[in-house]
Structure 1
Amino acid sequence: MIRFALSALFLLVFSGCSQEETWAVQVGGANVDSVFGIAGLEDGRACITGTFIATADFGTRARPLTLDSGGYSDIFVSCYRADGTPEYVTHFGVTQKNDQPRAITALPGGDVAVTGFFSKTLGTEPGPVLQAPGRANADIFLARVDANGNTVWARRFGGTKADSGRALATDGDGNLLLAGTFQDVIPYTENGVGHKLASAGSRDAFLFKLSADGDIIWARRFGGSASDEAFAVTATDNGTIVMAGIFAGEASSGDLPARKSAGYNDIFVQAFSADGVPLWTRTLGGAGQEYVGGLTATGDGGVWLAGSFQQEMVLPGGGQLVSEGSTDAFIVYFNSDGNLQRASSFGGAEVELVYGITAAADGSLWLAGHFQGEADLAPGSATSVYRASGTADTEGFVLALDSDGNHRDALLLAGDDVAIANGITVSAGGAVIATGIFGKDMQIGSGDKLTSRGKSDVFVLRTSL
């Protein structure tokens, strides 16, 4: 683990933006560096998790600081103060395997938790080392990292096949909510008693509620005879836990009626009580592919779901959204009873994907994603057309919406290669912080430009639009 004093990563203050304390930082080396999640902390910091290959630069030009993975893909966690200067960077990895994180969430007191998957062995700083069974293809890891970058504890979950943690959140009591996918059986311990979570088919979604010490309080599954996976989870102020993912064929949770997909795979939204009782299930889908981008809870107990779809997507209650082209983005809102209140889509003739959504204290919504060519980024009947201005056809965006899901503004990330915003959070104090990847050069709105050190680098930026 490397801890910084008052140094900064390659830090830019947007020269073309009037907002105060608007900045961008960069992480990377000569290879492919990626980011998979971002979390806003109660003290105003933001932390990201991703992967790097061989060496990656986490320091300043005047004082280079690097991490070395030994030539393979290792996991990193790095945190930044409200002004963009780094707090620490730490990494996980031991064996010559490609381990990957998938999500990060903030815990009370300034700690974070990270989940993903690993093969064989995963080392943390200063420990422990997690060991997967010899027959396991991939196992789930969950680790808590304190405000100094030290691992407090680490847990392994999984059976003999491929399992992965995909999403993380915390509830109002500081408990952890871990969602993902598993095959066959996951053994686990609850209150000192051994249990097994068994898949109903090829692959099922799972949800664990854990204490802040990493002990499982309860475990639930959603699925059927085909392949089912969870990609997002959140907790509302009234204690309801909502998980979203994709499913195929027929799938269910607990004693709730099974739902049947309309196409190859559809989206499911499954709600549980704080005690793990399945409350309601909603599905969205059609003949094309659907993708889950994220979930975020609102102050009135409801949730917004963001994602992408192809062709036509049938909504709960019988309405539908129609794609304008190859793949469009969507947002939908469910109230605390699971009733659909709002639904709208946006996009153009090519591909628009949403990778993250978050709600601010005032109810405003922020989305991270990318679009191609020319696209209308205003959900619903309003129009706000943007055109990719870089030499690459794929351009990232940070999209600001009001509490009803109406377009307010957008920050575009234009590059000479791919530029994608794939994570977004709102920290304490209302700072909106996004993360993503870019190759070659990336211009941030009308302001400054970042230049990649290798094949792809990671960016973190703060904006208020």
Structure 2
Amino acid sequence: MKKNYSIQLEKIGLRPLNTTIKSLTILIALLTSHALLAQNVQYEWTKKFGGSGNEQVNSIATDATGNVYTTGRFGGTADFDPGAGIYNLSASGLSDIFVSKLDASGNFVWAKKFGATLHNLGNDIAIDASGNVYVTGTFRGTVDFDPGTGVSNLTADNSYDAFVLKLNSSGDYVWAKSFGSSYSESGNSIDLDAAGNVYTTGLFRDTVDFDPGTGINNLIADGSRYYIFISKLDTDGNFVWARSFGNSLSNQEDPVISVDENGNVFTSAPFGGTIDFDPGVGTSELTSLSEEEDIFISKLDTDGNFVWAKNIGHVNGEIGVYSIDHDASGNTVVTGGFGGTIDFDPGVGIGNLTSESSDGYVLKLDASGDYVWARLFGGPSIQDGNYIHVDAADNIYVAGRFYGTVTLDIDGVETNIISIQNEDILFLKMDANGNYIWAKGLGGTSRNYGKAITVDASGNVYAAGDFQGLVNFNPGTATNSLSSQGGRDVFIMKLSCAVDISTSLAGSTISANATGATYQWVDCNNGNLPIDGETNSSYSATINGNYAVKVTSGECSNISDCVYIGTADINEKAVTLYQLFPNPTTSKVVITNFQSTISSINILDVTGKILASFTPTSSVIDMSMLPTGIYFIELFEGESKSTHKIIKQ
């Protein structure tokens, strides 16, 4: 099992390559097996960059047009143009942070570097709807975070500090913030909500001011223990709030974070002993079952208030968690590694899985933190799952590692996947029910690591990692080999799993244009929940609203854009008749042209859940008690309805 990463590395501020928080490496030799290459999953390309030192990638993300962004660290001089051109960057210290952008075809767009005299590391990356780039990580000394001609220095307090950096889509500097004390702080994981607020989690000791502006918002870690922090900044880098959890372990592994569209914050990390996970005035204590460590998964609302916390563990096992994500319905998935027997059900039920040595797992909880399912992938040797991503169709992708043999049940067939020599790369796809759809493995004679995986809006899969020596990156029968230049180099690869998700509209009937597929129509106004019985290629709406179709062809699936129906039996009143202002709002909205014939009003969140339903007595709708986020307000008048999207700040 991997454990005690961060604190043991306090003096150098880095994780070792084989224990990076988002580094998952699985190797596979049977490259012609159906389990490894589904017929309609196609290899597109692999690109690499590197140089005289060791390069390490930690995270990957895509934007709306399929551009690919990565972050990590590099040493010496490295060429970040994977094509025929040359774009060399030289590290200022022992290792520098890099941020790289390729287009959807793998062509070089830009690369930026940040560093000082010692070790600096980019840990995680996120992209907003406008293509702005957000990075968090760790730095030491004085670092200029403006990669252009300007200067924007941040100086770490004595040791390593955490940073949050924002660049625009061209790689130009927007802002950078840091948090630190006389000890080492790390920014490990980052995510955004629909309004562009920035959430970061990591570790800190002593007293740290998490307000990067002129204000002061100190959080205090007692004694010699590392605490977990969660920080929220707005899109301009201004402080919103910060919360912390104490820890009874002297050696704390890095936390990970995922944020849904409403700004609910899901965090996970290993812990030991008893911890109060309510950062407010209340108390919600969890006690680890294992003498070693359990993991927790917690949920805060967008204002940092406690919602729930769960712990996973067993007296006869130990477990680590390395990545977290969520789906459109607020279900949470995590991945990591475990040994022994672990009860993955945090409730009164039992969800035991047993590992022969060290296996990878995927766990799914619902929006209330209740157990849905858990799956393992493993064998007699070492396996881990260290990066997880959920696509728009609720498919789950994992990047990981293994050594020896991994056994997976794919389409009801027990499939053995055998490593070549050392630890190699694995990428897995599962459906929303935890069934394995495909697995792809890459390897060579050296250790090779799959670090990250993501999916674009068209269903294309992008994966990244680092490798050494000669590796064939084509998981099919062809050969597409790359060799590392110096020590370890970074690879980025693309697999296409595109499905035709275009639709046609005739009146109140929507039709999927794909043929020979399977279909499931969903209600976009209700968290993309499936509509019972609607599995034909066409759907006729009886109620006005937004609808989409999930199209599955072989091992590939994706969900269409939502289509608005305004001609069903219940008519939608023209939106110009009623307008709501101000929008965005901080407290109240006013209905223009308000009429007493408006019989009722619903307020819904982005999942379609009705938060309030009432009969209006005036033109004013009070939203002051709602947390910041995106809401929909429905106005009903007779047989008509109008729907309005409101942003609460």
**TM-score with structure 2 length normalisation?**
0.66
Answer whether contact 1:413 1:420 (CA < 8 A) is retained.
no
Instruction: Give the aligned CA root-mean-square deviation in angstroms.
Output: 2.2
How far the C-alpha of 1:140 sits from its partner, in A, is 0.5
Asked if the contact 1:345/1:380 (under 8 Å) is kept, the reply is no
How many Å apart are 1:204 and its aligned residue?
A: 0.8
Deviations 1:295-331 (A, max 9, x none): 1111111111111111111221252433332211111
Q: C-alpha offsets along residues 343-384 of structure 1, whole Å, 9 cap, x if unaligned?
A: 121200011111111111111111101111111144999733
Aligned-pair CA distance for 1:278 = 0.9
Corresponding position of 1:264: 292
1:359-411 residue CA offsets vs partner (Å, 9 max, x unmatched) = 111111111011111111449997332111x3x32121111111211111111
Aligned to 2:255: 231
41, 50, 66: which is aligned to 2:63? 41
Say if 2:463 is the partner of 1:450: no
Separation in 2, partners of 1:288, 1:198 = 31
Report deviation, 1:53.
0.8
Is the Cα–Cα contact under 8 Å of residues 312 and 320 in structure 1 kept in the other structure?
A: no
Aligned to 1:295: 324
Q: Provide the residue aligned with 1:113 in structure 2.
A: 134
Summarize the Cα distance change of 1:118–1:198 in structure 2 as closer, same or farther, 3 Å threshold.
same
Asked whether 1:323 is paired with 2:374, we answer no
Asked if 2 retains the 8 angstrom alpha-carbon contact of 1:263 and 1:285, the reply is no
Distance 1:339 1:252 in 2: 19
Q: Structure 1, unaligned stretches of length 5 or more?
A: 1-15
Paired residues of 2:143 and 2:155 also in contact (CA < 8 A): yes
Is residue 2:387 matched to residue 1:364? no
Following TM superposition, by how much is the alpha carbon of 1:78 offset from its aligned partner in structure 2, in angstroms? 0.2
**Alpha carbons of structure 1 residues 395 and 37: separation in structure 2 relative to 1, 3 Å:** same
Query: Hey, what does 1:8 align to over in structure 2?
Result: none
Partner of 1:402: 431
Verify the 8 A CA contact 1:200 1:225 in the aligned structure 2.
Answer: no
Q: What does residue 53 of structure 1 align with?
A: 75
8 Å CA contact 1:238, 1:301 repeated in 2: no
Q: Look up the equivalent residue of 2:113 and give its one-letter code.
A: H
Q: What is the deviation of 1:217?
A: 0.7
> Counterpart of 1:10?
none
Deviation at 1:450, TM superposition (A): 1.4
Conserved 8 A contact 1:117-1:141: yes
1:348 counterpart SS class = coil
Could you list the runs of 5+ residues in structure 2 that have no partner in the other structure? 1-36, 498-649
Question: In structure 2, do the counterparts of structure 1 residues 165 and 377 end up closer, same or farther at CA, with 3 Å as the change threshold?
Answer: farther
Distance 2:52 2:266 in 1: 40
Between stretches 218-227 and 267-276, larger displacement belongs to 218-227
Distance 1:283 1:102 in 2: 25
Question: Structure 1 residues 345, 61: CA separation in 2 closer, same or farther (over 3 Å shift)?
Answer: closer
* Counterpart among 311, 333, 337 of residue 368 in structure 2: 337
Residue identity opposite 2:493 in structure 1: L
- What amino acid is aligned across from residue 255 of structure 2 in structure 1? F
Cα distance in 2, alignment partners of residues 210 and 382 from structure 1: 48
One-letter amino acid of the counterpart of residue 232, structure 1? V
Question: Among 212, 237, 241, which residue is 2:265 paired with?
Answer: 241
Contact 1:344–1:380 under 8 Å retained in 2 = no
| Equivalent residue, structure 1, for 2:491 | 459
> 1:89-108 to 2 correspondence within 5 Å?
89-93=111-115, 95-108=116-129
Question: Residue 220 of structure 1 corresponds to which residue in structure 2?
Answer: 243
| Residue number among 274, 294, 314 corresponding to 1:250 in the alignment | 274
The 1:30/1:193 distance shift into structure 2, 3 A limit, reads closer
Choose the corresponding residue for 2:173, options 141, 147, 151.
151
Shift of the alpha carbon at 1:80? 1.2
Structure 2 counterpart of 1:283? 311
* Larger-gyration structure (1/2): 2
Shift of residue 209, structure 1, vs aligned partner: 1.2
> In the alignment, residue 434 of structure 1 is paired with which amino acid?
A
What is the match of residue 99 of structure 2? 77
Q: Is the 8 A contact 1:115 1:168 kept in 2?
A: yes
Question: For residues 382 and 240 of structure 1, do their structure 2 counterparts lie closer, same or farther at Cα, with a shift above 3 Å needed?
Answer: farther
Give the % identical residues.
28
TM-score (ref. length: structure 1): 0.91
Structure with greater proportional strand content: 1
Q: Is the 8 A contact 1:78 1:89 kept in 2?
A: yes
In 2, the alpha carbon distance for the partners of 1:306 and 1:438 equals: 22
Decide whether aligned partners of structure 1 residues 129 and 380 sit closer, same or farther in structure 2, where only a CA change above 3 A counts.
Answer: farther
Q: What letter matches 1:164 in structure 2?
A: S
Find 1:208's aligned residue among 209, 231, 255: 231
2:619 corresponds in structure 1 to none
Moved more, 97-106 or 68-77: 68-77
Aligned to 1:161: 183
- Residue 435 of structure 2 aligns to which amino acid in structure 1? N
The structure-2 alpha-carbon separation of the partners of 1:197 and 1:52, relative to structure 1 and needing over 3 Å to count, comes to same
SS in structure 2 of the partner of residue 324 of structure 1: strand
Count of residue pairs brought into register by the alignment: 446
Query: Mean alpha-carbon deviation: is it higher for 273-282 or for 20-29?
Result: 20-29
Find the aligned partners of 1:381 and 1:308 in 2 and give their Cα distance: 24
